A and B are shown apart, each in its own frame.
Chain A
Amino acid sequence: MSLDLVRPHKKRHWLMVSGGLLLLLSLMLFPFWEMLATALKSRGDMVEYPSRWMPEQPVWRNFIEVWSYVPLARYFANSAIVALGATLLNAIAAIPAAFALARLSFPGRRVFLYFVVATQMFSPVVLLIAFFQMMVGFGLINSYWSLILINASVSLPFSIWLLTAYFSAAPKEIEEAAILDGAGRWRMLFTQFMPLAWPGIATAMTFTFILAWNEFLFALTLINNSDMRPLTTGIYAFVGRNEIMWNYLMTASILAIIPVFVVFLIIQRRLVAGLASGAVK
């Protein structure tokens, strides 16, 4: 890469740059060291003073015992149901809408687009009170549906925006060929456009999934039955107990992070592209 031409030439500069980088990275990563070290501590290690950076005898058993200390499997299942449900609903709504906005002309198209952009500016927090009232009215407090609906909706503007860009980029000939074939709009979308826009769809769905998986404020407000809690508020509920078992809490946290981190690693490039498109457009 020609970019290498721009890197620091002098050895002294290299030393400074790598020193600074190492320092920053250790600041960034040492909390995760602490997370792992705590997860591996026994009850006794937890109250040892002064505390250690790593327990002498790592207790890997914690990773098994935590499943019975709290209903962790239940929390995982709740999070998965909510996040998958939100992602699915988001895709069902966003894909045809983005296709229509990108490839069809109809009255009110611009208004709809502006509206989509405007809603992106809204923070979900602003909706919290009214959404809570609404869910009380529907009797959906402590139901998966309340979280599925809100998570699917708040991610919708971003998904539509991202997918509209992907659908717009497809060459015109595809549309013309499909029309010659006598294909209707829906068939055109399914057979021609969706395969082409697949990277965009995958990005939008991943973003929706991760946002829903990590969501906290709405879960805290809408779910108060401990069986229905997703991972975020489930893990947070550790704090409400009279004695906080920090080692189990960290064990559960590591287990909760792993799936998302793996997904992040797999889609690393796409993730950045998606973020950047959110930033650029």
Chain B
Amino acid sequence: MGMLAPAGALILMFIAYPILDTLWMSVNDVNQFGQSSGFVGLSNFTDLFGDADFRASFYRTVVWTVAVVGLTVLISLPLAWVLNFRFPGRAVTRSLLLLPWAASLVITSLLWRWMAHPDFGAVSRGLEMLGLIDQRVEWLANPELSFPLMIWIAVWVSIPSTTLILLAGIQGVDPQLYEAAAIDGARSTRILRSVALPLLRPVLAVAVLLQVIHVFNSFPIIWVLTEGGPAGSTDTLVTYLYKLGFRLYDMGGAAAVSVLMFLILLVFAVIHTRLMWKDVAK
């Protein structure tokens, strides 16, 4: 099939082969040049489980993913609902909302790193102005402050696309359904809950799945703000993987982290799909 050849070649070479190679590396002792000094079975994996930093990173990644995706949906859904009404300035609002999305994650992360500066940063300045803090705060030196801040940044960059997907979903619902409910005298929030939400469920479900995959694997925010530090206290699995592979040159270990990350997402995707399908079947 000549028509499939270019796509097939790219996918086989640059997606399928690296996946297989990763699997192979995860069960071998591999140096930084990718040369194996022998099959080691599952010892790369058992090494990981024995590492307290890995376990902490794993736990942190779960918190990170749940918090970011949860908060994003909680904020985006009402926002999409409101943006659906006609009001002066709606077009401008929608366009401005594209800004955090258009900027690349590195740039927004750098912007927030600057805003978190203890002396000249806008975060401290704003909170001081509101009277919420009255002393110098080292936002990035303390994981109890930096991690929630990074969660907010991830939510902040995720809101635009999520809101726009949900908005498209809301507008895709047959307007007559809304009308009927409105004529029945239902309040706006009721209509959102009992008419729009059930119809939005499939869109929401897949949006959440994609978002979970994306956030679980997100790298730039944490890398730019703290590099997972201080002392690994804000590492997620991706930054842990990156350090293992490119700072400690333990390619086998890094490959094992990749395999585990893939398996975790796979299990999540299967459970998620099962649950959603059960709901649809009901």
Residues of A within 8 A of B (CB): 1-9, 13, 17-18, 20-21, 24-25, 27-32, 34-35, 38, 46-51, 53, 89, 92-94, 96-97, 99-101, 104, 106, 112, 115-116, 119, 121-134, 136-137, 149-150, 152-154, 156-157, 160, 185-186, 189, 213-214, 216-217, 221, 231-233, 235-236, 238-239, 246, 249-250, 253, 256-257, 260-261, 263-265, 268, 271-273, 275-276, 278-280
Cross-chain contact B175 with A2 (CB below 8 angstroms): yes
Please measure, in the bound complex, the distance between the C-alpha atom of A268 and the C-alpha atom of B98, giving whole angstroms: 9
Pick the residue among B19, B115, B258 that contacts A34 (CB under 8 A): B115
Pick the residue among A6, A96, A127, A152 that contacts B10 (CB under 8 A): A152
Main secondary structure of the interface of A (DSSP, over half): helix
Given A8-B187, A50-B128, A89-B10, 6 other A-B residues pairs in contact with their CB atoms under 8 A:
A1-B86, A9-B188, A35-B111, A93-B6, A130-B19, A275-B165
Cross-chain contact A127 with B22 (CB below 8 angstroms): yes
Q: What are the residues of chain B within 8 A of A271 when measuring CB–CB? A: 164
Cross-chain contact A153 with B15 (CB below 8 angstroms): yes
Please measure, in the bound complex, the distance between the C-alpha atom of A271 and the C-alpha atom of B101, giving whole angstroms: 12
Known contacts A253-B103, A253-B111; A18/B87 CB under 8 A: yes
Asked whether any CB of chain A lies closer than 8 Å to the CB of B230, the reply is: no
Cross-chain contact A276 with B95 (CB below 8 angstroms): no
Asked whether any CB of chain A lies closer than 8 Å to the CB of B82, the reply is: yes
Q: What are the residues of chain A within 8 A of B99 when measuring CB–CB? A: 29, 32, 257, 261
Tell me the chain B residues, 70-92 only, with Cβ under 8 Å from chain A. Answer: 75, 78-79, 82, 84-87
Asked whether any CB of chain A lies closer than 8 Å to the CB of B232, the reply is: no
B209 to chain A, nearest CB (A): 9
Cross-chain contact A7 with B85 (CB below 8 angstroms): yes
Cross-chain contact A275 with B164 (CB below 8 angstroms): yes
Which of B48-56, B119-127, B138-146, B274-282 is the contact stretch? B119-127
Known contacts A31-B122, A253-B107, A279-B206; A93/B165 CB under 8 A: no
Q: What are the residues of chain B within 8 A of A94 when measuring CB–CB? A: 7
Cross-chain contact A153 with B10 (CB below 8 angstroms): yes
Cross-chain contact B106 with A236 (CB below 8 angstroms): yes
